[in-house]
Amino acid sequence: MSIRDKTIGFIGLGAMGGGMARNCVEKGFDLLVHDIRPEPVERLVAAGARAASGLREIAETCAEIVTVLPTGREVEEIVMGSGGLFDHAAPGTLVMDLSTIEPETTDTLHETARARGFRAIDAPIGRLAWHAERGESLFMVGGEKADFDEVEPLLAAMGTTIHYCGPGGSGTRTKLVNNFLAIASCQLNAEALALAKRFDLDLETTLEVIHGTTATNGQLKVNWPNKVLAGDTEPGFTIDLAHKDLSLILGAANSSRVPVPVGAAAREAFTLARSRGYGGQDFSAMADVLCDSAQIARARLGEK
């Protein structure tokens, strides 16, 4: 029996999980879904999934279970806690966690799974919510190679790029390194664009220069023209979530005795943005935070 012939449990149908679950259904996977909110469950049922009565039904029904959860606390409670998945699942059940969480929690997930006769994969998500909607996510995967081979078709239904990073915990740690650069670059971009606005430079010309040198970066070149520079700060990835990830990065770096002073400064800039009410906006809106703080016009393409 192939994985496509099995019922897959899917827990967490938020901005990322909802789109990925729908892509699985559209590509022929039988999904049993659960979320604390009824609305995303109803949308997935309308798309062809089945609603679970709760965690116990998923644990007892599914040999492979996907979790996309906000923090490590939910992973601990839902997977390893009292009444959670491991309390009701059959031996050999595989839990694939796509959440961005503390490496220590991911390590505990793998250790607990082994001790109790289960299997675990950590496969945090790269890219943004609109990529998830279009089935274009990127995954960084940690776990046993045989388990990765088993779930690879499921990951391929949700994304276009899949990296096997190594043993358990490698996916989570790779995600933190990636997000460190992606998020910290937003603060640097914001400061640079605010300076360009203060200098009264033409933004299009300035960006042409930047993109023609090694100063450019993926956020500024790929994401920002479609988001803040177009006046769209509806969240694909919020400032609040970016702040959460920076906190995870600083904690992991501290535990590993790696100094990250730029990361610490970026986290405090995001803390300031949250304190001023920008937390629910897209993390590219850090450009607006800087321009508003400097009392200059916001950086927008096509505007003089």
- Active site amino acids: 175
Cα dist from 65 to 14, 19, 71, 182, 213, whole Å: 16, 16, 17, 29, 45
Structure tokens at 99: 């959440």
Neighbours of 191 (CB within 10 A): 15
- Cβ-based burial of 145 (10 A; exposed 0-12, middle 13-18, buried ≥19): exposed
Q: Which residues contact 209 (CB under 8 A, 6 or more apart)?
A: none
- Interhelix angle 170-198/286-294, rounded to 10 degrees, is 30
Q: Rounded CA gap, 157 and 25, in Å? A: 9
List 244's β-bridge partners, or say none. none
Contact yes or no for 68/99 (Cβ under 8 A):
yes
